[in-house]
Amino acid sequence: MTDLHEHLFRREAGRIVATLTRIFGVENLALAEDVVQDAFCRALEVWPFRGVPENPSAWLMATAKHRALDVLRHERTARTLAPELGRLLESEERLSPAVEELFRADAIKDDQLRMMFSCCHPGLPEAAQVGLMLHILCGFSVDEVAAAFVSTHAGVEKRLTRAKKVLAESGRLFEIADAADFATRLPAVHRALYLLFNEGYHGASPESAVRVELCREALRLTALLFEHPLGSTPATYALAALMCLHAARLPSRLDAAGHLSVLADQDRSRWDPHLMAEGQRLLERSATGPQLTEYHVEAAIAAVHASAPRVADTNWTQIVSLYDTLMTIRPSPVVALNRAIAVAQRDGPERGLEEIGAIADSHRLAAYPFYHAALGELELRRGRIEAAREHFRAALGLARNAMERQFLEQRMETCEGGKASRPA
Amino acid sequence: MSEFIYLYRSTNEASRAAMGSPEQMQKSMQTWMAWMQQLADKGHIKNPGHPLERAGKLVKGKQRTITDGPYAESKDVIGGYTLVEAKDLAEAVELSKGCPILEGGGVVEVRPVLKTGM
């Protein structure tokens, strides 16, 4: 019996919906989703009796294709299908070869890009863009999107319904053939992919499997982007590099007991050498052209960490200076916080605390547990146990899942122990 | 050893509702396959059988009236069948309890195959 890829259906759903939406037109997204559902129902009915086909993806794709042809034959006159393809789908004899052509592997890749760019519609808030990509291109259900973003079913459903409406009203999918339009929309796509990855890497979901999957999906979609001639820009390579270099550390984010482990404590032998090398390779490819993006800088920071065999070997001067650059390109309180932590590593906890105190809009960090945890860490390091405990307690009150809670409880216990047992 | 037929029955609504997201569908498909595999490994599968299309026709009575079926008549549709071998009806029933259709509100009808010519 053929073994199925763990998330085969989910991934195929994204691929097939993208192609079907291209065929049916963007206002018929729901129809595309129905056809995919039908294809999966077929698999569910047939595979238990016949076994998994040799190429399950191709089987699902072919089943969806047949069903799409049926739908086109029946609905061609009743509905307005994709205006871009109108003439192709008009006549019976042209229909079948046209659909055959639309289901070619390279066409399917382009369809996913069209959908990716369409999801990043400027009329949508960033969170909606990311949710929509996850839903349509990665096949996550409303509940699965809600779980990934630690949001409610109703909240996500409302957001997605609105987003789909905006998508439908745009009348057609984003046209990736136009180089100028492509370049204009590209930064929004980068941003959405970055946020998707971050949701996996730093996000609040208590399920580490969910988070690994989000990172993996972000990487997969980014790879689609750099495989396209217009998408293979230095910024795309930098984004992919930063994802690889971070994803390489995922296995060690949880220690042997399944507890959250901060960068300084991670067992670096568990960093994935393959992803590490891939990240380095992509980072080198990104180093062309005049444009320095936040992705370049973040990837460079990750690369500095990656090149240190032990935390004590980290070149903190270099990291502080990279954060300085990042603050000029894309300033944010979180970046400022990370910069302050790097300063503390270089110059000691007092300097770090000064830097944190100087963060301009630090009130925006008030609800972020790791802001308080960082304060606690630095107070602990300079021996002010009582202050440290207060900060860790504040952080604990904001913890977003059991893993974070456990980590912060353990930091509080360190305070109870009365000494900073943990080196920088 | 005796032979039994498992008839997998469920309503359209129940099977639709059990579908859910692609991820859930894959999981339920894998549960089905694992269950079938487990029966096969123990030598209980005489013939894995076939899935049946949900649509069809009902031909009825002396008038040979033809209607769309089968769900025009009964909402409970046979979605497929499997021929199994078991010691007796009790064992066949026991083995059927692992069938994933039960999780989605479906039914397994276990029917002994009538032995003839003995």
Query: What integer best gives the mean pLDDT of chain B?
Result: 88
Q: Which residues make beta-bridge pairs with B66?
A: B59
Nearest chain B residue to A138 by CA: give it.
B22
Given CB atoms, is B80 within the 8 Å cutoff of chain A? yes
Distance from CA of A56 to the nearest CA of B (A): 12
Q: pLDDT (tens digit, 9 = 90+) per residue, A369-396?
A: 889 999 999 999 999 999 999 999 999 9
Task: Provide the 3-class DSSP secondary structure of residue A203.
Answer: coil
Which member of B23, B25, B49 has the closest CB to residue A44?
Answer: B25
Given CB atoms, is B79 within the 8 Å cutoff of chain A? yes
Q: pLDDT (tens digit, 9 = 90+) per residue, A206-243?
A: 777 778 889 999 999 999 999 999 999 999 999 999 99
Q: Which domain holds residue B8?
A: 2-112
Residue B21, CA distances (Å) to A165, A294, B25 in order = 21, 36, 6
CB A233 within 8 A of CB A186: yes
Q: Which residues make beta-bridge pairs with B67?
A: B58
Inter-chain residue contact A1 with B29, CB threshold 8 Å: no
The CATH label, of 1.10.1200, 1.10.530, 2.60.40, 1.25.40, for the domain at A327-424 is: 1.25.40
Section A160-171 average pLDDT:
93
Q: pLDDT (tens digit, 9 = 90+) per residue, A172-213?
A: 899 999 999 999 999 999 999 999 999 888 877 777 777 888
For residue B45, tell me if it sits in a domain: yes
Q: pLDDT (tens digit, 9 = 90+) per residue, A129-141?
A: 999 999 999 999 9
C-alpha distance across the termini of chain A, in Å:
51
Which member of A9, A44, A45 has the closest CB to residue B23?
Answer: A9
A342-348 own/partner pairs: CB under 8 Å, 24+ apart: A342/A316, A344/A378, A344/A381, A344/A424, A345/A314, A345/A316, A345/A319, A345/A424, A346/A316, A346/A317, A346/A319, A346/A320, A348/A382
Q: Which residues of B fall within a CB distance of 8 Å from A40?
A: 19, 22, 25-26
Q: Which residues of B fall within a CB distance of 8 Å from A43?
A: 25, 29
Residue of B16, B26, B31 best to disrupt the A interface, most CBs of A under 10 A: B26
Given CB atoms, is B104 within the 8 Å cutoff of chain A? no
Q: How confident is the model at residue A255 (pLDDT cuts 50, 70, 90)?
A: low
Closest CA to A268 of A231, A233, A305, A232: A305
Instruction: Give the domain CATH number at B107.
Output: 3.30.70.1060
Q: Which residues of B fall within a CB distance of 8 Å from A9?
A: 22-23, 25-26, 29
CB A370 within 8 A of CB A395: yes
Given CB atoms, is B82 within the 8 Å cutoff of chain A? yes
Task: Provide the 3-class DSSP secondary structure of residue B75.
Answer: coil
The structural domain count of chain B equals 1
pLDDT beyond 60 at A319: yes
Residue A225, CA distances (Å) to A216, A246, A298, B24 in order = 14, 19, 19, 28
Percent of chain A with pLDDT over 70: 93
Q: Which residue has the higher pLDDT, A417 or A215?
A: A215
Q: pLDDT (tens digit, 9 = 90+) per residue, A263-281?
A: 777 888 888 999 999 999 9
**Distant-in-sequence, close-in-space partners of A361: CB < 8 Å, separation ≥ 6:** A333
For residue B118, tell me if it sits in a domain: no
Complex ipTM, two decimals? 0.87
Element (H, E) at B68: strand B65-69
